[in-house]
Amino acid sequence: MIRLIVLLALFPGLLFAQDTWKDVYSESAWKERDIWQKPNELIRYLNLKPGSQVADVGCHEGYMTLKLSGAVGNQGKVFAVDIEQPKLDRLNKHLEDRQITNVTTIKGTDDDPLLPAGALDAVVILDTYHEMDAHESMLRHIKDALKPGGRLVLCEAIAEARRNGTREEQERKHELAMRFALEDVRKAGFSLVYQADPFVDRTAEKGDKMWILVVKK
C-alpha cells in the first residue's frame, strides 16, 4: 500500500491513465462514444440508403446496429452478428425496449457470420476483426453475402508503440495495424475504395488510434 502511495506521489497521472481505458461497448458509454467514433462517417462509407440490407459483424451490444437500423429505415434490414450469446441477449433487450423491428440477431461461428448469400449491400466490422483467427474464411463468407459492388468497412485500433509489431503481438493486445487487413482483403479479391490512418483518435479513451478501410466486392 505504501509503495502504491509513493508511486502515485511520483507519477500523479498513473491512476488517471489507468482509469481512462474505458469500456466503450456497453450502453452507458454510447453517448460519449458518439463524440469520437464518427459513426455517421462510418455509415456514409457503407453507402447505405433507405431499404438497404447491412450486417454489423461483431456487434457487441449493438452500438452500431441501432444506428444502422435508423439509416436503412423500416424497409431495410440489419443483421447483427456476434459469437457470444450474452451480447446478443443484451442487444435483443435494447431492440425490444426501443421497439426496433428491422434487426435480426445471428449467433455466428468463429469462421462464418452465417449471413444470407448475395443479399447484402454492405458489411461493417468495427473493432472486432483483430479478434478473428479464420480471416480467410470469414472474408470469403462476407464476400459471398455481398451483392456485386457491395461494400465492406473495417475499422480497427492500433497503438503507436505497437504499429511495427508482428500480427501475433498486436492481436494479443487486441489491436491490428491496417497493413495486415489490407493484405487480407486484397487476397480475398476485394477492391480498395478508401483508406485512412488514423481515422479516429481515441488515445484518451483506450490509448490508441483507429484506422478505416473501405473495400467493395
Flag whether 174 is in a domain: yes
Flag whether 40 is in a domain: yes
Identify the sign of the CA torsion 212, 133, 77, 121.
Answer: positive
What is the reported pLDDT for 22?
67
Residue 155, judged by CB atoms within 10 A of its CB (0-12, 13-18, 19+), counts as: buried
What is the reported pLDDT for 25?
84
Please tell me the total count of domains within the chain. 1
Q: In what order do the strands lie in the sheet with 208-216?
A: 103-107, 77-82, 53-57, 120-126, 146-158, 208-216, 191-202
Q: pLDDT tens per residue, the chain (217 residues)?
A: 444 333 334 444 433 343 445 678 888 889 999 999 999 999 999 999 999 999 999 999 999 999 999 999 999 999 999 999 999 999 999 999 999 999 999 999 999 999 999 999 999 999 999 999 999 999 999 999 999 999 999 999 999 999 999 999 999 999 999 999 999 999 999 999 999 999 999 999 999 999 999 999 9
Cα angle 44, 180, 187 (rounded to 5 degrees) comes to 85
Nearest alpha carbon to residue 157 among 138, 139, 178, 136 = 178
Residue 169's domain spans which residues?
Answer: 22-216
Flag whether 170 is in a domain: yes
Which CATH number do you get for residue 165? 3.40.50.150
Flag whether 140 is in a domain: yes
Nearest alpha carbon to residue 159 among 118, 103, 107, 211 = 211
Neighbours of 178 (CB within 10 A): 21
pTM of the model: 0.89
Flag whether 2 is in a domain: no
Flag whether 136 is in a domain: yes
Alpha helices in 84-202 (DSSP H): 85-98, 135-145, 167-172, 178-187
What is the reported pLDDT for 145?
98
* Cell numbers found for residue 118: 448475395
Flag whether 171 is in a domain: yes
**Could you give the CA distance from residue 62 to residue 47 in angstroms, rounded to a whole number?**
20
Neighbours of 101 (CB within 10 A): 10
What is the reported pLDDT for 133?
93
Flag whether 200 is in a domain: yes
